[in-house]
Structure 1
Amino acid sequence: MIETVMLSCPYCGETYETVVDGSAGNQAYIEDCAVCCQPIECRLTVTADGVYLETRRDDD
């Protein structure tokens, strides 16, 4: 299940679209911000209702 979600960068505050693949279930990964290039720690949770993306700074 590939979906487009909105990601809000915890460094620069910009929001942009990104594509996630929920077919592998819950995941944790690092994605660089498309605006400021800082590393964002992403946690993807897959439920029956859809996918949820939680983001936080990599240095927290």
Structure 2
Amino acid sequence: MLPSAEVQCPYCGESIVLMIDDSAGAQRYIEDCQVCCRPITVAVRFDEDGVPQVAVSSEDEA
């Protein structure tokens, strides 16, 4: 089972759950908000314990 992260959409402010592919290592990608459908830039890194640290931003902030 993939780990997940609950984040807040930078556009509509709703909480959404993202599934994190922990086999891919650090990554940066675009995913549409599940509520408002706007494109969110997602940046994932892993701490020393392998726990994903997820940051999201709008395209304007990326």
* TM-score, length of structure 1 as denominator length: 0.88
Q: CA deviation at 1:28?
A: 0.3
| Residues in 2 aligned to 1:20 and 1:59: alpha-carbon distance in whole angstroms | 23
Three-state SS of the structure 1 residue aligned to 2:3 is strand
Three-state SS of the structure 1 residue aligned to 2:36 is coil
Q: CA deviation at 1:2?
A: 2.1
* TM-score, length of structure 2 as denominator length: 0.86
C-alpha RMSD of the superposition? 1.4
The 4+ residue runs of structure 1 with deviation greater than 3 A are none
| Residues in 2 aligned to 1:21 and 1:5: alpha-carbon distance in whole angstroms | 11
Q: Which residue of 2 aligns with 1:56?
A: 57
Q: Of Structure 1 and Structure 2, which has the larger fraction of its residues in strand?
A: 1
Residue by residue over 1:16-41, the C-alpha shift from the partner in whole angstroms, topping out at 9 and shown as x without a partner, is 21211121110000010000000000
Query: Which deviates more, 13-22 or 28-37?
Result: 13-22
